[in-house]
Amino acid sequence: MSFGLVVLVSGTGTLLQALIDASAADPEVQILAVVSDRPGVSALDRAEAVQIPTVVHPYRRGDDRARWDAELTAAVADFAPDLVVSAGFMKLVGPAFLGRFGGRMINTHPALLPAFPGMHGPRDALAHGVKITGATVFMVDDGVDTGQILAQAAVEVYDGDTVESLHQRIKVVERDLLLASVRRLASRAGTADPNQPSFSSTTMNPRGANH
Ligand code: GRF
């Protein structure tokens, strides 16, 4: 039986592409739909190129946030996913969404949480002068990047790194970390305790991305 994902995106979609490529190679994992809060982003093109259904659900300034959240919940629920993956989705989901998908929604963050949460993980790590940063996959809760950590991988900060160069190197390990996390959750689905979809933290070797 396949493990169905709905992937939430907002931008370029390189994390989504990694999921698309992995699901093409592994029939156990299926991307049921891609949902974006922004029209016209290349993540949507990546989904459409392989005939994955897409939904665009924008939030416009002044919109009723609770209503937006309820509509997002309904749009995702239509696809009955086993897991919701936030892959570069730049909005926080609200109570309705978490009521429906809490414990079944993961996110990735380009820093080693709890350090440098929020929108600018690579920039903030660089500004702070840390020598090691990385990527984190975590279970989404109602805080900003506060949920249970599922897996982390370290990335070295180089002298002369820019926000862009550092973020690009983080994204390489972030992709592997996300794929490993999804595979692990898929393999645990349907096993002994359905209330325990999560797993203990994993350290992945970042060398491949750094050297
Ligand atoms: C990732 O680093 C993600 O953690 C951050 O934005 C990036 C998404 O990149 N929030 P992409 O759109 O998948 O290329």
Cβ(150)–Cβ(198) under 8 Å? Answer: yes
Ligand 1, pocket residues at CB < 6 Å:
11-16, 43, 87-88, 108-110, 171, 174
The alpha carbon of 193 and the centre of ligand 1 are apart by a number of angstroms equal to 31
Ligand 1 binding pocket mutation candidate from 9, 17, 85, 174 (most atoms within 8 A of CB): 174
Mean pLDDT (the chain) is 91
Predicted pLDDT at 1 = 73
**pLDDT for 47-62, tens place per residue?**
999 999 999 999 999 9
Average pLDDT over residues 119-146: 97
**Nearest protein Cα to ligand 1, atom 6:** 88
What 3-state DSSP class applies to 14? helix
140 Cα to the center of ligand 1, angstroms: 16
pLDDT of 76 over the 80 cut = yes
b vs e for 153-186, b when ≥16 Cβ sit within 10 Å of the residue's Cβ? Answer: bbbbbeeebeeeebbebbbbbbbbbbbbbbebbb
Residues taking part in catalysis: 109
**Tokens of residue 9, six digits:** 């995106």
Confidence of residue 81 (pLDDT cuts 50, 70, 90): very high
pLDDT in tens, 92-116: 999 999 999 999 999 999 999 999 9
Dig out the tokens for 190 from the structure. Answer: 């349907």
State residue 188's pLDDT score.
Answer: 87
Q: Is the pTM of this model over 0.75?
A: yes
Closest CA to 204 of 165, 158, 170, 160: 170
Q: What are φ and ψ of residue 153, in 5° steps?
A: -140, 140
pLDDT at 192 over 60: no
